[in-house]
Amino acid sequence: MKINGGIPLKGTVKTQGAKNAALPVIAVCLLLRNGTLTLDNVPDLYDINTMLELIKDLGVEIEINRDEKNSQVIFKVPGEIKWEVSETLARKMRGSSLLLGPLLASCGKVSLPLPGGCSIGARPIDLHLKGLKQMGADIEIQNGVVHAKINGRLRGRRIYLDFPSVGATENLMMAASLAQGETIIENIAREPEIDNLAAVLRSVGVTVELEGAGGVRIQGVEKVSSGCERVIPDRIEACTYILAGVMTGGHIKVEDVVPSHIDAILAKLEESGANFKVKKDTVEIFPNKKRLHPVTIKTLPYPGFPTDAQPQMAATLALAQGVSTIEESVFQARFLYAQELNRMGADIKIARDVAIIRGVEKLQGANVKATDLRAGAALIMAGLAAEGETIVEDMVHVWRGYEAVDKKLKSLGAQVELL
Ligand code: EPZ
């Protein structure tokens, strides 16, 4: 994407359905037999379409109804589905690990290629497998493929997660839905995606009680029914546009936002002196009178500062007045974008898992490469704020998580062009 920078963004943009909420709730359809699951507000993204391909390949019929008001996907599940996941499709996306729990629970077995790592660090699924083993599954890994099976049904258990892993929480909640008896999972992830998954599981007849102290209690059922639910707004996409408005000194409104989902970002923006107003489901950004103050950030599981907004926040702080630090505590290597931002005149030093960001007056346009989804977003934001022309290569990473980003930016007055 080619960007002619230095133009303050103006106008209104509406968020898409959340990528990281849609992926697990799509997998819920695999728990059904001879039933339909209807999901609204499903975003049109590479990763979502890969997931839909995976589901279709397993034998589920899919009907997509997309118009400017809604994008609905109806999953028509037959009496039997396949339990072997296609290697080519599974390797395209990490989210494929979310097929483990529902396929094992409903077919009694599953073969799934181990998801590959990616540029933000190793992406093991040991916590997913440990929980499924505790529920009675036999699991072997041969030639990079996970083979899991269960004689009879999974058994409800009390499970403690060593880390509040989002994916492990989601896989185990789906597996517990068809297990015998009650499952209690402690120390679960509390990202809003988990509440969305609980709502979809309830819609198909599963009793799910999220407990305040970071646990969930699920009563397994013999068979789930048809159901329907709506995917929540994408909190990370919302943060990306909010920060782009701040970086370009623009005046924009981001609609279809759940403010409580982005408390950590809004708190840091307030601390840095950004000029914005929060209403029921919108955030309005106004031009800043002066440069942002520096802030100190540590990424944490929800409700802490989200690691998925870390690169975008680093780009924003690259223009602050002073030295900010961001400690990345969730992933091992999520700073690859820093040297690309430095090619645009930023001054970011990485000391192990901390980025030290010395603010500069201006960024200059340059040719840069997206290394992963959120890094790509950060580089686009920097290009919008920089003087001159920026070309962001490897946009394929950005299309994985940002629907129609060129059209949305053009509607905000940005001069962008796909090459
Ligand atoms: C989800 O990944 C998101 N992806 C990620 O978003 C997000 O960054 C992450 O949660 C944290 O919020 C989807 O929802 C599809 P984790 P997930 O399991 O489930 C370690 C984006 O940009 N871990 O909470 O893989 C792991 O290595 C993507 O949209 C284990 O060690 O995240 C990591 O360091 C990037 N063993 C940490 O936990 C396990 O079994 C967090 O992982 C599982 C995870």
Q: How confident is the model at residue 34 (pLDDT cuts 50, 70, 90)?
A: very high
- Within a 10 A sphere around the Cβ of 164, how many other Cβ atoms? 20
Compute the distance from residue 261 Cα to the ligand 1 centre, in Å: 18
Alpha carbons 234 and 253: distance in angstroms, whole number: 15
- Residues 389-408 pLDDT 10s: 999 999 999 999 999 999 99
Q: Which atom of ligand 1 is nearest to the CA of 122?
A: 27
Angle 166-177/126-134 helices, nearest 10 degrees? 30
User: What is the pTM for the complete model shown?
Assistant: 0.97
Compute the distance from residue 417 Cα to the ligand 1 centre, in Å: 32
User: Does the pLDDT of residue 98 top 70, yes or no?
Assistant: yes
Compute the distance from residue 59 Cα to the ligand 1 centre, in Å: 28
Q: 382: part of which helix (H) or strand (E)?
A: helix 373-385
Q: What's residue 280's pLDDT?
A: 97
| Residue 127 beta carbon below 6 angstroms from any ligand 1 atom | yes
- To test the ligand 1 pocket, which listed residue (123, 170, 307, 397) has its Cβ within 8 A of the most ligand atoms? 123
Mean pLDDT confidence for 254-260? 98
**List of domains in the chain:** 2-16+233-417 (3.65.10.10), 19-230 (3.65.10.10)
Report whether 382 contacts 366 (CB < 8 A): no
Report whether 35 contacts 226 (CB < 8 A): yes
| Residue 374 beta carbon below 6 angstroms from any ligand 1 atom | yes
List all residues 6 or more positions away from 283 whose beta carbon is below 8 Å from its beta carbon: 238, 242, 253, 254, 257, 259, 262, 266, 276, 277
Q: Which protein residue's CA is at the shortest distance from atom 6 of ligand 1?
A: 308
Q: What is the mean pLDDT of the chain?
A: 96
- Which residues have a catalytic role annotated? 118
Compute the distance from residue 46 Cα to the ligand 1 centre, in Å: 18
User: Does the pLDDT of residue 118 top 90, yes or no?
Assistant: no
Any long-range contacts for 111-117 (C-beta under 8 Å, 24+ apart)?
A: 111/83, 111/84, 111/85, 111/145, 111/146, 111/147, 112/85, 112/145, 112/146, 112/148, 113/85, 113/87, 113/144, 113/145, 113/146, 114/141, 114/144, 114/145, 114/146, 115/90, 115/91, 116/91
Q: Which protein residue's CA is at the shortest distance from atom 13 of ligand 1?
A: 20
Q: Phi and psi for 284 in degrees, rounded to 5?
A: -110, 125
